[in-house]
Every structure is written in C-alpha cells, then in structure tokens.
Amino acid sequence: MGTREQRRHGRRRQRRRNYTPLLVLLLVVIAACALLLNSCGKDEGSAQVDAGAGNVTDSGGGETEQNGGEENQESDASTPPEEQDPMEGYTVKTMTEEDMQVGLQILVSNEHTYSFPEAAESQLVNLVENKSNSYSSSLNTTLILPVTVEHLNDMLDDYLAQGGATDIMVVSGYRTYEYQQGLFDRNAAKNGIENAKRFVAQAGGSEHHTGYAVDLYSNNNGDYFEGVGEYKWVTDHCHEYGFILRYTEEKEPVTKIGPESWHFRYVGVPHSYIIVDNDFCLEEYIDYLRQFPFDGEHLTYTVGDQEYEIYYVEGLEVPVPESGNYTVSGNNVDGFIVTIEK
C-alpha cells in the first residue's frame, strides 16, 4: 500500500479530485443566479414602463415619468370644455292653451279651428275710421285689428304712390262665427256642399275670425281683386308689408281651399319674407319652423339692416330673452314661435 506519506498525499490528491467538480458546479449555479436576477430586474423595469404610469420611479424612469406626464397632459387637453348653459340669457315664460291661439303666426284652417279670445274683441277697430285715403271700404261697420290696418295703409299708400289705381276696396275683415256659417250655408245651397267646402271655410276655420285677414275688390272691374295688370304690384310686394297671399292654386292640396287672389293675411315681417322666399303656404311654414327648436339651431333672417332670430317651442313653457325686443306667437297647433330682433 506504500508508505504513510504516500498514502497521505494520495488522499489529498483524491480529495482535490473530489472538490473540483463541486467548485465548478457552484460557479455554474452562481452564474445562473446572476443571470436570472439580471433578467428579473429588466422584466420588472419593462413592466413598470408598459404600465404607462406617470410616476414610474425605477432607474431610467425619469424619461418614462416625463412621457407619462405628457400623455396625461394630452388627455386633459382633449377633454371638452363644459357646455354653455342653454338658458343663459333666457327666462321661462309659462303660457296657457288660450295663448296658443294668440299672435301673428297662428294657423287657422278647417283642420285647426280658431276661437277669437274674448279679451281681444275690444282691440278690434273700425276700418273706415282708421284707413288711409288710398282705398275704400264696402261697409262702415267693418272691424279689423290695428296692426292689420296699419300695414294695409302703408302697402296701399305705396301702391298708389307708384302709379296704382284708387279703386281698391276692402270688402271683408273680421267675421263672427255666425256670419261665417251663413256664408257657408248660402254657398252650399247655391253651388253644392263640395263647392262650399272648397271655397268657403267653415265656421271656426276662417282666417277672418282673427282680424288679420282682408278680402280686396276692384271697383273698376266690378269683381274681386285678381292681382294682374296694374294690380300685380300688390301681389308682388305684399310680403314687404308683412302680408301673404294666403290661398293659391298650387297650394290647394295643402290648404284644402281653392285659389283666392283677393285674400291677404297679415303674418308680420320677417315671416312674410321667409314664406315668399321658400314658396311656402302658411301650413308648410308652421311645419318648417319645427326644424328650429329652442335647444337646437335657430333660424336667422335679415330684412334691410334688421336681423331676426326665430325658434319654435313645443308646449307651454317658453324660453324668452331676458332683455331686448321679441314677440311670442302661438301657432294654434302645438306650440309657440319666438321672434327676436337682434
């Protein structure tokens, strides 16, 4: 077996052969752990960056924090500002069902009948006592609203001034229910019920109940006003004074009334202009205004130097301006028309 010394060195050599693999294995394990720790550190940093948080604090996170802050700033900038209160500058005026039948833009027809407010009867004036000298009246008892005769005077005065005839006569203004029913019955007896329905509104369905309508007559021709020849000026310019020719042949399918070249209705400026510009009858205009509700886009229109703003309100709670000039008219259907002078 050799000497003791040989045996001792022999064991040492044997031990070195046994420890070397362990040292190698330990180094491999240490290296692997180091790689694993390094990899975990990178993954953690990536995870924090991917989170997109503006308060990342790991190494290199300063840039990430800055970018995150910029993203938050962009997000804040894209946030829409608080919408303006639609009632700013307006107050609500509570109306009544009766109010819906009051105003220049009321629609009156056999479908939408009308009851003349008792309080308004005192406002009617005698036409003969208030008309100008540019025309005549067939009766001394014809009644009409002041606003109608005022603008009728202006229109026929200007007609005469530009060379028109002096033979125009007003043959009808305000009518009671009883008077209108008598006209209808007499026409039906003479010409048949269908003719009466086409040419004579039934009681409650006549614009003459309102005090805003007049029928014109030509003394020279001995017949109702036809709006041709020298009289065409009135038909062509009536809207400049707030009047419209109410019943035309092309609109009969809508109005359900035959053409009447002599029947003029006062609706006021700028509404008369808008009706003529768009070739509307009054029924179509009332429907058209529903496109301009208070909480939506309003209709604007300019006549001369005066700008107008118009909107429609359904129901009885009507927003109106807190200041300035405006009018509120019922439409005699379902709501109100507000007209503001800007």
For the annotated catalytic residues, the residue numbers are 260
- Cα(342)–Cα(322) distance, rounded to whole angstroms? 13
**Partners of 263 in the beta sheet?**
215
- Cα(173)–Cα(138) distance, rounded to whole angstroms? 10
Enclosing H/E stretch for 21:
helix 4-50
| Residue burial 109-133, b: 16+ Cβ < 10 Å; e: rest | beebbbebeeeeeeebbbbeeebee
Do 76 and 54 meet the contact criterion of CB atoms below 8 Å apart?
A: no
Nearby residues of 320 by Cβ (< 8 Å), 6 or more positions away: 90, 91, 92, 93, 326, 328, 338
Helix (H, G, I), strand (E, B) or coil at 170: strand
Helix (H, G, I), strand (E, B) or coil at 261: strand
Distances (CA, A) of 191 to 4, 17, 172, 184, 187: 156, 137, 21, 10, 6
Look up residue 289 and give its two tokens.
């205004």
Which among 246, 288, 239 has a CA at the least distance from the CA of 268?
A: 239
